[in-house]
Amino acid sequence: MFGGHLDAPVPRWATLAEMQEYPSLVWHLKNTQLFEDLAASELEELSRITPYKRFAAGEIIYHMEDPADALYFVREGMVKISMYFPNGKEMILGLLGQYDIFGELLLLASERRPNQAEAVVDTTLIVMPEGDFQRLLQQQPRIAMKFIQVMSTRLWQAQQWQAEVGAFDAPGRLANLLVRLAKDFGVDGERGTVIDLNLTQQDLAKMIGATRETVSHCLARLLEYGAVKRRRAPITVHLPRLQQFLDEASE
């Protein structure tokens, strides 16, 4: 699922017939945090420069060091953001779902991607070219302010996660991650909250800076505690018990 640094197949633009399977592009733009305050006429104009792009599960959206040439909005599906190091190791920085924004670092002076984006499942993105986005920020100060708010929230989340990584041992970091995934992507099931993301133990390890063996032991401990009801995908968790585990770990 998470292969090496290979050239991805060229993604295709969605045809008009395919786009008609969904609500209008204007509707989707309105539901993104960045454009929610725009008027219908402004959204109509914006939709002319933000087409859909489709990626199959496992396709690379962009590699590290690729030109930063577009901003992306997740219309449907899921995207994994990662960094690869010279020794070949991967660190998963996050998973993004519907209406999330990524590729925002295109405004950095280097104009190169500092991370890699990959479609975890079949994914449809709304794409805004870098030049059009720059002009939009100049013409629409309220969007520029909203963009600053979005980026400030992203920075705060990254700082919070960094602090949590330092504050907890591996079981605590895993419990914290599962709480985040359950709140962002979980659905109610008979035994608890189901995190149906097809994540392997190796994937979880890459997200908390641990080994697969450590994650396996941590899941077994959380299962015994009653915080995890099923430790293989789709992982099922008991959120109150997870939170209780974290509370005890922080004492």
Domain residue ranges of the chain, discontinuous segments joined by +:
12-164, 168-249
pLDDT tens per residue across all 251 residues of the chain: 222 333 333 334 444 344 444 457 788 788 787 888 788 888 888 888 788 899 999 999 999 999 888 999 998 999 999 999 988 889 998 899 888 889 887 766 667 898 999 999 899 999 988 888 888 888 888 888 888 888 888 788 777 777 776 678 999 999 999 998 999 899 999 899 999 888 889 999 999 989 999 999 999 999 999 999 988 888 999 999 999 998 888 77
Per CATH, the number for 12-164 is 2.60.120.10
Whole-number Cα distances in Å, 65 to 35, 79, 106, 113, 114: 28, 18, 11, 5, 6
Task: Write down the pTM of the prediction.
Answer: 0.77
Fold type of domain 168-249: Arc Repressor Mutant, subunit A (1.10.10)
Q: Which amino acid is at 102?
A: F
